[in-house]
Structure 1
């Protein structure tokens, strides 16, 4: 019963995380598009920087933006913050449930670094905190006055961190950590910069003071950062299901390319919303990035086409490797604590089941090295070579 309850807790938190994320991303995309589509005209209220007309749900909306603040505080004011807070809180709960409580399975790879579970968790938490501090200091430094230079340095900073994490965590753990870090930076922008600055503006209005324009500019800069980071962080979140991303030996390079792809795609839509000439070249850059990712992920640790049959190779040896290294989880009754059913329902206990999932074995064990997770069962290079030779021979039946 405990296992069943744990599974449903995982599902409930994941469901909440996805719903909150949709709400946060939707409002973020909407307000950036709205901000860029504003047009100035004669007769706007004092302090207004532009307006936009929109139609939705059978009605027309007239949106007006005040560059600093209106002349007086409105009677009702909607704050957009809980979408962000709920996304992070549910995401951190998932981080604990899935990764921190199962660090040995999902975060640690002893061929990379021999960590204990508590050490892996400590490095992760410290990494999240330090990552935000460094990013925040960069934004507040003189560099923050030049958006392009700040973006370039921020990109290098994230790529460098992703490489450093490859020296600490498993491939899956690296992507988990980077997704959590980017998400933390985004929600901290809301919690520690955007909302506090808006509260200061509201307080000045209530007190009859003139709000500081810098507060709005700081908030807008952080909001724009969140907008450009959204697509990469979504990619990292769903990459958990695609081992050719996180388990590739070039995973940090793939992540760097994804950061660029996400940025140029958002640049296209942001320019389109602004009404400028649409930069179609961005799609060419994104396409080239995708080609590069596919090529990088296709570089296996054990090239199947060059695999040779080890001396004394027999088909029974293939079955023994799978049973010894994979069946602890991929069994009708998994032996690994915390796993109630075989991942994705894949069973690898009989020759027929092994041949049925030969393409999955090729992807998970050879092309990516994602399985066993963190090489928890210590599969050897020779054993991977044996599986590669069998697959290269056409995966003959027993």
Structure 2
């Protein structure tokens, strides 16, 4: 008989949300930002509004909520398995450093990425998309620089985040 496995469902949701989140992170860094630069430079093309008006808002919606869903389902998994404190303290609270240290580094990197998405990228993207009124040119330039910088930082941090999270689950000691 088939038995419903809640833990497997939480893990599955975490993995799917993570694929969407990191996939969109790479899309923004490796596809959209260069495409926006090319669209801006193309005098005879449709301009960046074609991307910024129709694709960007939808992609950012999925990006933000996939980030939150990934983090939330990961935390729920750790809570359900009784490992939340051990992982967030990098094994110091339990002495289980082989698993908790590796996974904990990944979890903390993921937490930093989540913070960057909601506290830095999203407020600045809202300015760039015109969703915040009263923003002057200097503020727009600053927002554009912040978005580009933090998006690249997140792309770079995502590699060790994924490596540490996989290492923890596969028994790889640091």
Could you tell me the TM-score, scaled by structure 2's length?
Answer: 0.74
Partner of 1:27: 24
Q: 1:89 to 1:167 in 2, by over 3 A?
A: closer
Matched, 1:232 2:160: yes
Could you tell me how far 1:167 is from its partner in structure 2?
A: 6.3
CA 93–63 in structure 1, closer or farther in 2 if over 3 Å, else same: same
Distance change >3 Å, CA 239–CA 99, structure 1 → 2: farther
Tell me the residue number matched to 2:107: 180
Quote the Cα distance in structure 1 between the aligned partners of 2:134 and 2:107: 41
1:331-373: CA deviations, max 9, x gaps?
A: xxxxxxxxxxxxxxxxxxxxxxxxxxxxxxxxxxxxxxxxxxx
Q: CA–CA distance in 1 between the matches of 2:92 and 2:65?
A: 35
Looking at secondary structure, tell me which structure has more helix per residue.
2
Specify the alignment match of 2:42 in structure 1: 41
Alpha-carbon separation, structure 2, partners of 1:242 and 1:209:
48
Structure-2 change in CA distance of 1:217 and 1:86 (3 Å): same
Aligned match of 1:218:
146
Give distance in 1, aligned partners of 2:126 and 2:50: 21
Evaluate the alpha carbon distance shift between residue 75 and residue 16 of structure 1 in structure 2; reply closer, same or farther with a 3 A threshold: closer
The aligned length equals 159
Counterparts of 2:102 and 2:135, CA distance in 1: 46
State the distance in 1 between where 2:21 and 2:14 align.
10
Report the Cα distance in structure 1 between the residues aligned to 2:54 and 2:44, rounded to whole angstroms.
23
Report if the CA contact (8 A) 2:100-2:168 is conserved. no
The residue correspondences of 1:128-277 to structure 2 (distance < 5 A) are 165=90, 169-170=95-96, 171-201=98-128, 202-204=130-132, 207=133, 209-211=135-137, 212=139, 213-243=141-171, 245-246=172-173, 251=174
* 1:105-148 CA-partner distances (Å, limit 9, x unpaired): xx4xxxxxxxxxxxxx7xx3xx6xxxxxxxxxxxxxxxxxxxxx
Which structure would you say has the larger Rg? Answer: 1
Give the number of the structure whose residues are more often strand, by fraction: 1
What residue in structure 2 maps to residue 9 of structure 1? 6
Retained in 1: the 8 A contact 2:109–2:157? yes
The structure whose RCO (Cα within 8 Å, separation 6+) is larger is 2
Query: Which whole-Å CA distance do the structure 1 matches of 2:151 and 2:115 have between them?
Result: 11
1-side partners of 2:78 and 2:15: how far apart?
A: 14
Q: TM-score, normalised by structure 1?
A: 0.35
Shift of 1:210: 3.3
Q: How much does 1:173 deviate?
A: 1.2
Q: What's the secondary structure of 1:203's corresponding residue?
A: coil
Tell me how far apart the structure 1 counterparts of residues 169 and 106 of structure 2 sit (CA, whole Å): 14
Aligned to 1:89: 72
C-alpha separation in 1, matches of 2:15 and 2:167 = 15
Alpha-carbon RMSD = 3.1
Distance in 2 (alpha carbons) for counterparts of 1:214 and 1:178: 31
1:186 CA drift (Å): 0.5
